[in-house]
Amino acid sequence: MRLTDTFAFATRAATGTPMRTALMMLAMSIGVAAVVLLTALGDGARRYVVGQFNALGSSLVIVLPGRTETGGVGASAFVTNAARDLTAADAAAVLRGADVTRVAPLLLGNADVAWGGKLRETMIVGTSTHFLDIRKLELAQGRFLPDEGFDRATPVAVIGAEIREQLFGSERALGQMLRVGDRRYRVIGVLARSGSGLGMNSDELVIIPVASAQALFNTAALFRIFVEARNRDAVPGAKAETLSILKARHGGEEDVTLITQDAVLGTFDRILGALTLGVAGIAAISLAVAGILVMNVMLVAVTQRTAEIGLLKALGATGPAIRRVFLAEAGLLSIAGALCGLLLGHIGAWGLRQAFPELPAYPPNWAILAGVGTAIGTGLLFGIMPARRAAEMDPVDALAKR
């Protein structure tokens, strides 16, 4: 039997029982669609997080006060207190490193913010002029903190868009005196609305010079220091320089933890990647179930078409030829089902993108290949047994329908 005949025969057999064929294709396509859609969701989440991190700039080194032997980033990431504080003077010293271009000290705290009889509690950030560029924030009005030494406590403040709206409403915010805690600051700028980033919503911040924040909270201890390297390749150099400068300043004691953006990003990337893979694996179980169905239906088909097989054999068709016919049918069914599923999955992913525009929910190529491949693979695998049973039939018995 020629190849084209084999396929023509298989196609006719499949279209001869449209209901059954449609149901098998449905089963296959549910599995493939589930794999495609779920990986699109997982990969979309991964891309979203990576995008958020890259928006922060990829050549960043973050300095945390304190260091523990165990736990790595775990415990110390939430601790600001150390026997020796990380200070604004430390931040100024780090700026001397050859690979370092910008430094932003970060001192955080909560305080009351009041203007015109309206009061609310919000997060205060004490930092320097470079914070704007390092965090890639944008100004809507006015200007950012002045470029001056970290020890100058200029009484000025830059406020987030949400704070501006809540305190000032339709009135002009620039130039007004804002009360923060028990001190007064002149508003010199308003941040543009940026929505929430990772862990910090810049719409609800009040930003003041780091020395002002030190006075306000009566502490010298910084929460973090953001250090920006010259470029991505200079990150290891900047990290080493920062560490040696801080070590020298802290009496030879290595009591800080340095995190690079890439390390954090890598961790997130791995976790979300593994999650996507796991979810895809669970969805792929349904492909095995679809495979069992294909096998079942093909077995039924072999029984029903006993006479036909007998006739073919009587006319001289060999065992392998018969096997090929049935395998071709199983393969065709799987391919059609997989393609339908692919289409359904893509439509689902498109729907996801429409519903959540910020989530880049595109199924990754490996998932499409794996989904379709697994579908066709299981279809063929589960088709082997029925095909073999058909091929091994005795022509006389088969013709007699026994």
Partner 1 sequence: MGWRDFLAMSTRALVAHRMRSFLTLLGIAVGIAAVILLTSIGEGIHQFVLTEFTQFGTNVVAVNPGSKGIKGGPPGLPNTARPLTLEDARALERIPGVTAVTPAVWGNAEVEGHGRVRRSTVYGVGPAMQQVFTMSVRSGRFLPADNAEQPRAFAVLGSTLKRELFGHGNALGERVRIGGERFRVIGVMESKGQLLGIDLDDTVYIPTARGLALFNRDGLLEIDVSYREGTPAAAIARAVERVLDARHGRKDFSTTTQEDMLEALGNILDILTAAVGALGGISLLVGGVGIVTIMTIAVTERTGEIGLLVALGARRQTILGLFLGEAVALAALGGACGLVIGIGLAQLVGLLVPDLPVHTPLKFVVLAEITAVVIGLLAGVLPARKATTLDPVEALRAE
Q: What residues numbered 258-277 form the site for partner 1, per CB under 8 A?
A: none
DSSP state at residue 232:
G
Sole residue written with tokens 């689902």: 348
Give SS3 for 258: strand
Give SS3 for 301: helix
Query: What DSSP string describes 92-143?
Result: HHHTTSTTEEEEEEEEEEEEEEEETTEEEEEEEEEE-TTHHHHTT--EEEE-
Q: Which is nearer to partner 1, 78 or 316 (CB)?
A: 78
Q: Which is nearer to partner 1, 23 or 274 (CB)?
A: 23
The C-alpha atoms of residue 204 and residue 365 are separated, in whole angstroms, by 40
Give the x-and-dash track for 109-148 against partner 1 (CB under 8 A): xxxx--------xxx-------------------------
Find the binder of partner 1 among 14, 191, 238, 293 (CB under 8 A). 293
Find the binder of partner 1 among 55, 75, 347, 400 (CB under 8 A). 75
Find the binder of partner 1 among 191, 279, 322, 325 (CB under 8 A). 279
The C-alpha atoms of residue 313 and residue 330 are separated, in whole angstroms, by 20
By CB under 8 A, tell whether 52 contacts partner 1.
Answer: no
Q: Which is nearer to partner 1, 56 or 288 (CB)?
A: 288
Q: Which is nearer to partner 1, 69 or 147 (CB)?
A: 69
Find the binder of partner 1 among 210, 229, 295, 342 (CB under 8 A). 295
Query: What is the closest distance, in whole angstroms, from the C-beta atom of residue 379 to partner 1 in the complex?
Result: 13
Give the x-and-dash track for 156-195 against partner 1 (CB under 8 A): ----x--------------------xx-------------
What distances in angstroms separate CA 321 from CA 2, 8, 93, 402, one per listed residue? 9, 13, 81, 22
Q: Which is nearer to partner 1, 23 or 314 (CB)?
A: 23
For residue 126, list its beta bridge partners.
Answer: 107, 208
The C-alpha atoms of residue 376 and residue 335 are separated, in whole angstroms, by 6
Count of residues that interact with partner 1, criterion CB under 8 A: 71
Token pair recorded at residue 223: 């929460």
Q: What residues numbered 327-386 form the site for partner 1, per CB under 8 A?
A: none
